[in-house]
Chain A
Amino acid sequence: MAIEEIVAPGTSVAAMPPVVGRFSDFVYQLRGNPATFAGLFIVALIFLSALLGPFVIRYDPYGVNLTDAALAPSLAHPFGTDQYGEDVLTRVIVAARLDLVMVLSAVLLSTVIGVTIGALAGFFGHYLDEGVMRSQDVLQAFPRFVFAMAVAWALGPGVVTVIVATAAINIPGYARLMRGLMLSVKESQFAMAAVAVGNSRWRLLWRHLLPNCLTPVIVLSTLQCGFTILEAAGLSFIGLGVRVPTAEWGVMISMGLQDFLQGHWWIYTFPGLAIAVAVLGFNLLGDGLQDILDPKRRRV
């Protein structure tokens, strides 16, 4: 029994389609959803670190200073220093930029490619659909991380490799999602109405169908950011991505583990925490967006 069925038409009730809202409405939704707010806060923090990091740090992230090597956390170094004397806090903040760039690029890449092929497959159907979906099956048949490793091994370690590898393994998710959405929105009455009015197939796809499929894609992308951080960090951790001594959370963990037996826990723990918090933030935000954007789950 939806509100819309009870409420007299013409009264303006908040419970309506996604993304066509006002800012005050967005704030209202956030107030009712503290977890989402936390997620938004964390993500904002990461973005801020990425943008402003290099301007607020006190130490040089690559400043090797062997006299200050492996110092435990203190007031001068809240996160301690690593084996090369570089301040861990500084590196964690600066790493945000690199990690964010990698993650956003990868997610953007996989979203654009995945959505495109999924939309085309769903819209045109028949052989194109079969072909695309079977190719995605092949792609998904590989264990995710092994596949990423294979790509990284083939291209050689580096930032670009990480981006390409993590993007590639995520494409099938978007393709499937988009294909499903397209299949259903294709049958909607407004799609038929758009044809009746004289839209060509391409214009129908671009102007009418795609915009109405975006919401779940946005949610997936946001969630995907979190997981991609893990994947990127993982690749760097095993040496297939960014290399030592670049400030990147995964690399920092691997560096830290070299000193594991010496008990210098702060060198790997703090970057690890950074990753965990980042993933948490994106997950909360993604879940929250889903609640906000889905008319049936909105707060009225």
Chain B
Amino acid sequence: MSLLKVSDLRTSFFLRSGELRVLDGVNIDIDEGEVLGLVGETGSGKSVTAYSIIRLLKQPGRIVGGEVRWRGRDLVALWESELEQEIRGKEISMIFQNPREALNPVITVGRQLTQVLEIRRGMSKREARQETIKIVKSLHISDPESRLNSYPHQLSGGMAQRIMISLALSCEPRLLIADEPTTGLDVTTQYQIVQLLRELRARTGMAILIITHDLALAAQMCDRVAVLYAGRIAEVGRTEYLFRSPRHPYTKALLASRPRLGLKGDIVTIPGSVANLMHPPGGCRFHPRCPNALSVCSEFQPPLDQMEPGQLVACHNPVVLHQEAAASG
């Protein structure tokens, strides 16, 4: 049984101008200890997916359909109190973009950590302090004592992110949801955080759901990657296959639109702009911009089909692999 199984999740935002169908049938599953990347651009719905899973959505957003099964239990059907006591922060933890803003600005970071331990794990002040130092040391933060006495705004971005990770780990979750964990951080700091997350996964065996627009990050960190476009999964599969031989035209185009040093001439871009979620295109949401579009694409939404074992694509006319490329994998 997979750890997390999201089936046909649908979330909408109810605005004055109409219903914004942000998520329109998202399917994700994560196994124990797996690192899954959810990749997409602005408007794809990736952050909304994360918030929907642990139900942190605010009005006017609402889950309108589908299930989110955590170890068999449907999180969508749970009471808020159950979710809060048993799931959030305990079994599923989340870290956010902009770590310095996500932390409470008027409490020292040390206190924020010990508070969680005292309340959630019933530790005494002394025990909590010791455990905090232990956690913080395991994240390679030097001079933990003085760091813990700082306020969030006194920390650098990378340090604040480590603190947030400490907070998220304090109750030993089975799944960590990381929403753009490295965006806004320096390149060298990003690399440090990636190494850190890898090490944590190896040590604790927890699963990680990484939400990002950074393809390079996904390639470096994830076992499997799911590509999200306009509220639907376009493609999902093992990282090596997805990056080397993408089957969905969107994935292919996205990978091709990175600027590279030796590239001569213009970067190949995706024509048009992101789908309008208020009045989405009929059928496959990508079809107006797709080089492979057929007439069926505008009428029927393609189901997520298995191409090769573990490789799912939602496309009527997926990218054809050349024999050589397929052979070399």
Direct contact, A vs B (beta carbon within 8 Å): yes
B42/A9 in contact, CB under 8 A: yes
Q: Is B16 an interface residue (CB 8 A)?
A: yes
When chains A and B are docked, how far (Å) is the Cα of A28 from the Cα of B17? 11
Name the segment of A10-18, A100-108, A183-191 touching the other chain. A10-18
A8/B42 in contact, CB under 8 A: yes
A6/B45 in contact, CB under 8 A: yes
Cβ < 8 Å to B, chain A residues 1-59: 1, 3, 5-14, 28
When chains A and B are docked, how far (Å) is the Cα of A299 from the Cα of B17? 11
When chains A and B are docked, how far (Å) is the Cα of A198 from the Cα of B153? 35
When chains A and B are docked, how far (Å) is the Cα of A9 from the Cα of B15? 15
B16/A300 in contact, CB under 8 A: yes
B13 to chain A, nearest CB (A): 7
- Number of residues in B with C-beta < 8 Å to the partner? 22
Cβ < 8 Å to B, chain A residues 238-270: none
Q: Which of A6, A9, A11, A14 contacts B47 (CB 8 A)?
A: A6
Q: Which of B15, B45, B277 contacts A300 (CB 8 A)?
A: B15
A10/B16 in contact, CB under 8 A: no
Nearest opposing residue in chain B for A4, CB measure: B42
B17/A14 in contact, CB under 8 A: yes
Name the segment of B26-34, B213-221, B268-276 touching the other chain. B268-276
B155 to chain A, nearest CB (A): 23
A13/B15 in contact, CB under 8 A: yes
Q: Which of A6, A10, A299, A300 contacts B22 (CB 8 A)?
A: A6
B17/A7 in contact, CB under 8 A: no
Nearest opposing residue in chain B for A3, CB measure: B13
Cβ < 8 Å to A, chain B residues 219-262: 230
B182 to chain A, nearest CB (A): 17
When chains A and B are docked, how far (Å) is the Cα of A6 from the Cα of B276? 12
A14/B15 in contact, CB under 8 A: yes
When chains A and B are docked, how far (Å) is the Cα of A1 from the Cα of B273? 23
A8/B276 in contact, CB under 8 A: yes
B274/A8 in contact, CB under 8 A: yes
Report B51-63 CB contacts with A as 1/0, cut-off 8 Å.
1000000101100
Q: Is B6 an interface residue (CB 8 A)?
A: no
A1/B17 in contact, CB under 8 A: no
Nearest opposing residue in chain B for A29, CB measure: B16
A53 to chain B, nearest CB (A): 38
Residues of chain B within 8 A (CB-CB) of A299 are 16
A247 to chain B, nearest CB (A): 45
Residues of chain B within 8 A (CB-CB) of A28 are 16
Given A1-B58, A11-B278; A6-B48 close (CB under 8 Å): yes
Given A6-B48, A300-B60; A11-B42 close (CB under 8 Å): no
B43/A9 in contact, CB under 8 A: yes
B17/A13 in contact, CB under 8 A: yes
When chains A and B are docked, how far (Å) is the Cα of A196 from the Cα of B59? 40
Given A1-B47, A6-B47, A9-B42; A14-B20 close (CB under 8 Å): no
A24 to chain B, nearest CB (A): 10
A11/B16 in contact, CB under 8 A: no
Interface centre among B16, B17, B20, B43 (most CB of A within 10 A): B16
Residues of chain A within 8 A (CB-CB) of B273 are 9-10
Cβ < 8 Å to A, chain B residues 265-290: 273-278
Residues of chain A within 8 A (CB-CB) of B51 are 1
Residues of chain A within 8 A (CB-CB) of B42 are 5, 8-9
Residue pairs across A and B with Cβ atoms less than 8 A apart, 10 shown, are A7-B13, A7-B43, A8-B276, A9-B43, A10-B273, A10-B274, A10-B276, A12-B17, A13-B15, A13-B17
In the A-B complex, the 5 residue pairs with the closest CB atoms: A8-B43, A8-B274, A300-B15, A11-B278, A8-B277
